[in-house]
Structure 1
Amino acid sequence: MSLSRREVLRGLGLAALATPLAACATAGREAAPSPTASAAATSTNNPLGVDATRRLEVVIFSGGNGDKYAVDLHEAAYRKAYPKAELKHVATQKVGTQLRPRFIAGDVPDVVNNSGPEALDLQSLVQEGHLADLTPLFEAPSLAFPDKKVKDTLVGGAYENSLIDGVPRVLQYTVAHRALWYNAKLFESKGWTVPKTWAEFNTLGEEAKKAGITLFAYPGQVGPFYQLWNLVYSAAKVGGNKVIIDIDNLADGAWTAEPVRQAVAAWAQIQKDYGDKAYFGLDHTQTQIKHLQDKVLFYPCGSWLENEMAKDKPDTFEYAIAPVPSITAADALPYEAIMIGVSEAFFVAAKGKNPQGGLDYLRMMLSREGARGYTEMTKNLTIVNGLVDGLQLTSAVNSAAKAQEAAGKNTITDARFETWYKELFDHGQTQTNSVMAGRITADQFCENMQKKADELKADSSIAKQNRTV
């Protein structure tokens, strides 16, 4: 069974793998280099100064989305634009294992799709000056809308999420909706209504139990971070987006705040009353198969789910997305509020042999053909606005689009501590499994997370990030 783009093992094994790269980092920050001087002059037709004969190496994580989109769309466009340039394509399911030794040795590729179970630690790469400044890309004219800069063609939050230390360093290529997924055909056949309140959620749990269906499940082996996301975004629904901003900023008491405690306690109750601990021993693919078999009613995941399970999805299953039910009557955000964020990271290596070509490669990804083609092939929306008209979208994509429309301005911001403080995120997965299994209480979960956050905050060797929105 092939690895999924979201199959993640973030335990001690991967932490150990990350050590050699992190150990090379200096205590302070190196300024992220701009791409080195180009042999080509910039012009209207070549705004990024690409050497038309210079080799380009692209590394793609071949997970749930495969790598065919890169070969057939983005690399094909680059070859057409620069026919004299050699283009090397590398597909891997182990980004870290394959690339970490190369970054240490200084033999780096030009473009990296940093995703999957062994994604490189961006903070370590930044410390060593490996991530190119993407400002020239964002300021360049868009290939999709030539009268606009690339930055002005993207969905809200796309540029902001590219920033590390205030400098754009990573391109998050896709739009991700994270919430609860269910089978619309099953709900129709049973005459069930998607619950909007926690009381309705519990009532449906009783109905599902009578039908022999587990109300809610997440994979405890490979994928506890799905539920960690769910806990954090549910807390934001209770207390507003400031809950997530405080968590990301390592604010004092962020994890012990009442909205977090309420959200964690609510989900622990659902697991206790209507869950099945057997799923703690399954990975994400196994759990998603159970979902397709209507043995699980709701599954917390992102909008890549349908494409990831396309080969296994029966005709009796129609993916649809639902916001998390309102936990309290006084929730800061309405039921319709849903998490809409960006994902699928790409970066250009500042110390690569062709950083200008890398920047232009990303610009081609954001072209009309590159973005629309990607959506058609992978069933994932990209961050480029205004390019989906006329596309035949799947039920999941249509459902996510409708949910986004219903939410309007009531969107839950994406949490960034996964990228900013990986150690905290890894710790959160362990604590999530513990609280959902009933080994610790919601209060203990919050205290344990706050203790870890405080440790990181006090560690002067860890660069701190800050966000206001």
Structure 2
Amino acid sequence: MTKFSADWSRRNFLRGALATGALVLPGSSMLVGCATSGGGQEATTGKASTENPLGVPTDSPIEIYIFNGGFGDKYATAVHEPMYKAKYPKAKINHKAEVDIAGALQSRFVGGNPPDFVNDSGDGQIPLGQLVSDKQLYDLTDLYDAPSWDDPNVKVRDTLVPGAVAQGTFGDKPYVMNMALTVYGIWYNKALFAKHGWQPPATWAEMLDLCKDIKAAGIAPWTYQGVHARYMSWPLMTMAAKLAGPDVLKAIDNLEVGAWGHEAIKESASALAGLRTKGYILSGTEGMDHIQAQGQWSAGKAAFVPCGSWLESEQKDVTPDGFEFAVMPEPLLSADSVMPKETLFASPGEPYIVPATAKNARGGLEYMRIMLSKKGAKGFTKEVSSLTVVKGAADGVELPPGLTSAQAALKAADDNVVNWMYNTWYGTMWNPGINTQMGDLLTGRKSVDEFVAGCEAEAKKIRDDDSITKYTR
């Protein structure tokens, strides 16, 4: 646990502010030398021009905080910051890499003195929905409406894959820029499968048949990130959407009463819970964290693990030679499923924000514009082995096997890509809420009906809490 966990509520935020006597909201009189941006915000600005469409103060310093996690921070120091410095040579860049973003920046947000640009990620993430609710984030509309870095005739928003802007939108305004395009699915070692003549299953019936063969070969069919059981909610939600259509997910996002009790959710939960009762989950999984469980998978102790496409990068130091990362879409629960077998969950992720009271907010927007350039996105992909939300940015880049597999799966899915927002809008519903419920389901502490009731209770907590801003789609 980090010292500032994901359940950072509005009450805690205000309590901390009152304790320090330092709560400064956007636009307060404590900000000086400011001009109002197009979004009605306060920000120090320079003179806008064709060369400087966002009005960046060219000689103002910019302070950048990067989450030092699976992606590290080299992509910032080796790619994006040099691009910023080349365009604004008089601007000093103050770079910091932190593992615990909330622990490092809580007091600064409260005090009205945050950095200009923040990679708000990791276990110490400051809940994005709460930051929006507390008016602590800068509206990114000006960024997305600005001319793109590569073509002044094309807006930034038009260079991005569908859903990229929407994923960071709360209500009717975008507040979060998500850079990485993550493909989720069930991961396996293609070399291991080739050795045994196994084929990735297209249906759940085929999955169970294959699991029987895998177990007979002395390998556990499945593992998952035990104490982070919410990883298994990704196949749960995706298989439910395939079975009954994406409106199942929309109802959950909209906090509709009974949404978690949909028959498709129950069928999906029953399938996943059955992996335990049939003895198809690696012994000890429930007590493992993601590093341990994924390590067992990399070592060949288990055949399948659910994860996003960061997995290959995260496991690169512990994966043996000859291991070939590959991802498959979740199997269909029924032959008469509404969506095709190629359907998958893919989501813009790895969030970046500009605080509302940043001294150089326009510099923060410009830094995002640089990241969303072809050069910036291609550099990101090369450094961290992740696809990005910039269309065509990975073209010509030699990708490792796992990312090649993810890109192929995304292409095969075409428009059949599902997504959901509740985990972004309501952080505590996601963790510890659904995390706890999934853990109870997968270990047999709760039946499917009890799991559904528990998820409904988590949604009700959010629905009934008047201090939490609600969103719909």
Which bin holds the TM-score, normalised by the shorter protein? over 0.9
Shift of 1:330: 2.2
Deviation at 1:25, TM superposition (A): 8.8
Secondary structure of the 2:104 match is helix
Sort the Cα spacing of 1:294 and 1:131 in 2 relative to 1 into closer, same or farther, 3 A.
Answer: same
The answer (yes or no) to whether the contact 2:6–2:127 under 8 Å persists in 1 is no
Q: Does the 8 A contact of 1:64 with 1:307 survive in 2?
A: yes
Give the match's secondary structure for 1:15.
coil
Equivalent of 2:154, from 148, 169, 183? 148
Partner of 1:61: 67
Deviations 1:45-80 (A, max 9, x none): 000101111110010001011000001111111111
Q: Which runs of 4+ in 1 moved over 4 A?
A: 9-14, 16-19, 22-26, 29-35
Q: Tell me the alpha carbon deviations over residues 372-415 of structure 1, each in whole angstroms, 9 at most, x when there is no partner.
A: 01111111011000222211111111111111121122222x22
Compared CA separation, residues 18 and 301, structure 1 to 2 (3 A): farther
Which stretches in structure 2 are left out of the alignment for 5+ residues?
19-24, 28-36
User: Which residue matches 1:325?
Assistant: 331
Equivalent residue, structure 1, for 2:400? 394
Contact 2:434 2:458 in 1 (8 A): no
1:108 corresponding residue in structure 2: 114
Match of 2:389?
Answer: 383
- What pairs with 1:280-295 in structure 2 (closer than 5 Å)? 280-295=286-301
Query: Quick one: structure 1 residues 245 and 14, their matched pair in 2 at CA, closer, same or farther if it must change by over 3 Å?
Result: closer
What is the aligned partner in structure 2 of residue 185 from structure 1? 191
Cα offset, 1:18, TM superposition: 8.0
What do the CA deviations read for 1:326-367 (whole angstroms, capped 9, x no partner)?
A: 112222212111111110000111101100100000000011
1:71 partnered with 2:77: yes
1:450 is displaced (CA, Å) by 0.9
- Structure 2 residue 269 is the aligned partner of structure 1 residue 264: yes
Which of 250, 254, 262 does residue 259 from structure 2 map onto? 254
Partner of 1:166: 172
Residue deviations 1:110-155 (CA, integer Å, cap 9, x gap): 0000100010012221233210010110011111333200000000
Distance 1:141 1:465 in 2: 29
Matches within 5 A, 1:31-430: 34-221=40-227, 223-273=228-278, 274-412=280-418, 414-426=419-431, 427-430=433-436
Looking at structure 2, the residues matched to 90 and 18 of structure 1 have their Cα atoms a distance apart, in angstroms, of 27
Q: State the 1:230 CA deviation.
A: 2.2
1:15 aligns with 2:7: yes
* 3-state SS of paired residue (2:186): strand
Q: In the alignment, what sits opposite 1:3?
A: none
Q: What is the letter of the counterpart of residue 226 of structure 1?
A: Y
- Which amino acid counterpart does residue 21 of structure 1 have in structure 2? F
1:263 Cα deviation (Å)? 0.4
What secondary structure does 1:255 align onto?
Answer: helix
Matches of 1:461 and 1:396 in 2, distance apart? 42
Q: Check conservation: 1:216, 1:271, Cα contact below 8 A.
A: no
Q: Which amino acid aligns with 1:107?
A: N
Rounded to whole Å, the distance in 1 between the matches of 2:328 and 2:16 is 44
Distance 1:291 1:185 in 2: 13
One-letter amino acid of the structure 2 residue matched with residue 94 of structure 1: D
Helix, strand or coil at the partner of 2:347: strand
Instruction: Kindly indicate whether the alpha-carbon contact (under 8 Å) linking 2:43 and 2:358 is maintained by their aligned counterparts in 1.
Output: no
Residue aligned with 2:322, SS: coil
Matched-pair contact (CA < 8 Å) for 1:277–1:437: no
Q: Give the alignment's TM-score, normalised by structure 2.
A: 0.92
| Distance of aligned partners of 1:14 and 1:155 in 2 relative to their CA distance in 1, 3 Å threshold | closer
Query: Relative to 1, partners in 2 of residues 1:259 and 1:63: Cα closer, same or farther, differing over 3 Å?
Result: same
Q: Distance in 2 between matches of 1:122 and 1:73?
A: 26
Looking at structure 2, the residues matched to 110 and 24 of structure 1 have their Cα atoms a distance apart, in angstroms, of 21
- In the alignment, the residues of structure 1 paired with residue 150 and residue 194 of structure 2 have an alpha-carbon distance, to the nearest angstrom, of 40
Residue 303 of structure 1 and its aligned partner are, at CA, apart by 0.5
Verify the 8 A CA contact 1:326 1:335 in the aligned structure 2.
Answer: yes
| Partner residue in 2 for 1:432 | 438
- Indicate how the Cα distance of structure 1 residues 68 and 74 shifts in structure 2: closer, same or farther if over 3 A, else same: same
**Are residues 244 and 371 of structure 1, via their aligned partners in 2, closer, same or farther at CA, if it must alter by over 3 Å?**
same
8 Å Cα contact 2:8-2:126 kept in structure 1: no
Partner of 1:4: none
In the TM superposition, what whole-angstrom CA distance separates every residue of 1:227-246 from its partner, at most 9, and x where no partner exists?
Answer: 12221222112111111111
C-alpha spacing 1:11/1:348, structure 2 compared with 1 (3 Å): closer
SS of corresponding position for 2:138: coil
Q: What is the CA–CA distance in structure 2 between the aligned matches of 1:254 and 1:88, rounded to whole Å?
A: 46
1:308 deviation in Å? 1.1
User: In the alignment, what sits opposite 2:33?
Assistant: none
Tell me, yes or no, if the aligned pair for 2:189 and 2:303 is still in contact at 8 Å: yes
Shift of 1:11: 11
